[in-house]
Amino acid sequence: MTVNESDLAFQKPNTIAILGGTGALGGGLARRWSRAGYQIIIGSRNQEKGEQAAQALLDEFPDLNVLGMANLAAAEAADLVVLTVPHAHQLKTLEQVHAALMGKILIDVTVPLKPPKVARVQLPPSGSAVVDAQEMLGSEVYVVSAFQNVSAEHLRQDHAISCDVLVAGDKRAARDLVMTLVQAAGLKGWHAGPLANSAASEALTSVLIAINKHHKIAGAGIKITGDSNAN
């Protein structure tokens, strides 16, 4: 799916690549989107690991439509790409797949956690890890921030998730499309403004980790109050 910046809307993707899909968050999104009718490609550093991760999902959930590839091949084959790697590997992974992302939407789920103090907000000097991704990739890749505040364990289960998703991005049409994917994953999305506002979502992850630890909650999330029908 190649889109010019002047286009008013993005086409609904058929194939979604999840780079770093071998992890819990990527696997949870893969499961929910596959059941919503999307073809999912699990991307990893090499094809064997991608295939193993896809097979592990199929062993657990045989009804899924997933396959595994190396990250670059996955990004090339997909209409839309999702990045779910740790912050330490974010920019290196994007450098490797940069050419395959041109003209596409990239959903970046990166949170700048720095173990062992993951319950402390530690944003990068620029203020946002996802903004760093957009600056590195340039204007021909449409970066959207989402899913930082959703528990991976909730995504891997069949129950409804009482958690909202903040969707930030500099192009409204790209945010609109990501909002449909949030809904397809069984969640409610909210337009959260330009990509710079991703700093709030990234910081909230550490806050939620602290809440989980102190109050012994398994997967705390956020809910937006007000008009439930608002977009």
| pTM score above 0.85 | yes
Query: What's the order of all strands across the beta sheet hosting 39-44?
Result: 66-70, 39-44, 15-19, 80-83, 105-108, 142-145, 164-169, 188-191
The answer as to whether 140 is a domain residue is yes
Cα 112 to Cα 123: distance, rounded to the nearest angstrom: 6
Domain that holds residue 36: 15-215
Whether the Cβ atoms of residue 140 and residue 5 lie closer than 8 Å to each other: yes
Nearest of 90, 136, 83, 72 to residue 106 by alpha carbon: 83
The number of distinct structural domains making up the chain is 1
The answer as to whether 198 is a domain residue is yes
| CATH code (residue 82) | 3.40.50.720
Whether the Cβ atoms of residue 199 and residue 126 lie closer than 8 Å to each other: no
pLDDT (tens digit, 9 = 90+) per residue, 121-174? 999 999 999 999 999 999 999 999 999 999 988 888 888 888 999 999 999 999
The answer as to whether 1 is a domain residue is no
Q: In this model, does residue 216 exceed pLDDT 50?
A: yes
The answer as to whether 9 is a domain residue is no
pLDDT (tens digit, 9 = 90+) per residue, 23-42? 899 999 999 999 999 999 99
The answer as to whether 98 is a domain residue is yes
The answer as to whether 228 is a domain residue is no
The answer as to whether 167 is a domain residue is yes
